[in-house]
A = this chain, B = another copy of it.
């Protein structure tokens, strides 16, 4: 074992921020303004302050960028290859976040850097090992949605069943049967029919539903397991 001495390292967090819009899963990237790799696209990130936790640092990065709060966020993996960053050794703890783009677009005041949503099906080259970080988060998300109702974090408060189905189809990368999907999701008793419907659409208006987190907590306590 090493002596009890400490080593100097830089510690950063990088955030993979997922959104869902126009039928596409997207992530928020910033265009770097500083060297190294100025002008290239990168995951939003920053150094961890000496007196903040990792979770706090990740939240801070996200809030500074989007002005959003109460975002679903989870640590994914820590990247510590010696030469992953060209100017010295930097350890990066990655987080992924799920945001409702509809909220974001209203409030965004991205102070620092140019932040743009990119569809995951068409991503630019990323700096350093950010592509790998992204892939790891994406895989994590794909596994997560199968057994936890996190998909709702990506949709507006009120959504149609078709929107929900599209979301799952995009994340899981496969088509789902409409009737089976509705049967299953409604049978779980997790989403509630609202009194509102779409307006001004050139077809039969779809009913809006909303997720019921209280009900979910209760079901969990009773041993319920979400399974898509």
Contact = CB atoms under 8 A, between A and B. Distances in A.
A112 B47 contact: no
Given A78-B54, A80-B93, A91-B54, A7 B1 contact: no
A53 B75 contact: no
Contacts of A82: 51-53
Contacts of A86: none
A77 B75 contact: yes
Main SS at interface, chain A: loop
A46 B89 CA distance: 18
A174 to B, nearest CB: 12
B1 A11 contact: no
B2 A10 contact: no
Interface in A78-119: 78-82, 88-91, 93, 112-113
Contacts of A77: 75
Contacts of A53: 80-82
Most chain B CB inside 10 Å of its own CB: which residue of A47, A52, A112: A47
A113 B1 CA distance: 10
Contact of A2 (B49, B55, B93): B49
Nearest to A147: B143
Contacts of A167: none
A64 interface: yes
Contact of A9 (B4, B5, B9, B75): B9
B5 A8 contact: no
Contacts of A127: none
A50 B89 contact: yes
